Copies of this chain bind each other. A is one copy, B any other.
Amino acid sequence: MSNNINLSRRQIITGAGALSMGAVLGQIINPLSKAEAKGGDTEKWPWPYVKLDPTQTAEIAYHEWYRIFCGGAVISSVFSQLREKVGGPYKSFPIDGFMFLEGGVSGWGTICGAPMGANLVTNLIIGPRITGASDGVLMGCEILEWYGDTALPIYVPKKPRVPTKKIPKTTSNSPLCHISVGKWMKAADKPLKSAERRDRCARVTASVAYHLVTLLNKWKDGKYETEGEIPSADFGITAQYNCEECHGANVPTPPGGDDE
């Protein structure tokens, strides 16, 4: 979490003074030398990107779910193609290591691995805020909001493992795995271990991968205008947009307000 996260989007976009300040402080305080702390070519942004086919990407994501699950599958669906088409930083990225994003990080039901993996991809391709770029983090936010607002899964695989009629669509209103999966399980009346729930998550993963690549292709064409918002700037606390879902009518006001 950051002081900068409460800056307006414009401040972030223009690379606010606080970022420069952070860089200066980092140089003074960090006990590691600049050379040791640098990752070489993989810490130069943006990473080279070529436009990918959304359907092919979604197909890879769907099948990869059955190998390394939601987060790993979204990352693999994009990065494994770019390993072949581009090489560079994608070759050394440890895709399979991100299997742990499954189940909302190691089964804990926090952020769904699919949008988490998508945020990783947008930030690693476009670059982190510290570079002065903002489209990586804002495209990630846009995907988190889209994920909560959309009746999922959208994508229908070419060779589905479970008939589509058995996979209802549900809207999570949240990027959390526990809430997304829980609402789907209630609507479908199917347990976590069922083939239907598993195929639902594989299709959600494919749907996110499709959407992710659609946005990245627009960005590559210079036509991406973000719809992403950083919620903490609106709320005075890091947050989702579904306050009442947990708090009911009594949504607390953060201490000191947002304009201190």
- Could you tell me which A residues sit within 8 Å of B by CB distance? 1-3, 5-6, 22-23, 25-26, 29-32, 36-37, 39-43, 45, 56, 59-60, 63-64, 66-70, 72, 76, 80-81, 83-84, 89, 91-100, 102-111, 113, 116, 119-120, 123-124, 127-130, 136-137, 140-141, 144, 175-178, 181-182, 185-186, 188-194, 198, 201, 230-233, 236-240, 246, 252, 254-258, 260
Contacts and interface: CB of A to CB of B under 8 A. Distances in A.
B26 A92 contact: no
A182 to B, nearest CB: 6
A1 B93 contact: no
A19 B83 CA distance: 25
A157 B170 CA distance: 46
A175 B107 CA distance: 12
A110 B191 CA distance: 24
A93 B140 contact: no
A208 to B, nearest CB: 13
Given A94-B42, A95-B43, A260-B194, A63 B109 contact: no
B89 A94 contact: yes
Nearest to A233: B107
Contacts of A260: 191, 193-194
Contact of A107 (B81, B230, B252): B230
Given A191-B257, A191-B258, A192-B237, A59 B43 contact: no
Oligomer copy total: 2
Contacts of A255: 185-186, 188-191
Contact of A1 (B94, B103, B136): B103
A120 to B, nearest CB: 8
A251 to B, nearest CB: 11
Given A92-B92, A108-B238, A22 B66 contact: yes
B22 A107 contact: no
27 contacts: A1-B69, A5-B103, A22-B66, A22-B68, A23-B67, A25-B66, A26-B64, A32-B84, A37-B80, A39-B83, A39-B94, A40-B91, A40-B92, A45-B97, A92-B92, A98-B123, A100-B140, A105-B111, A105-B116, A107-B141, A107-B230, A107-B231, A107-B232, A189-B256, A191-B257, A191-B260, A194-B260
Contacts of A254: 182, 185, 191-192
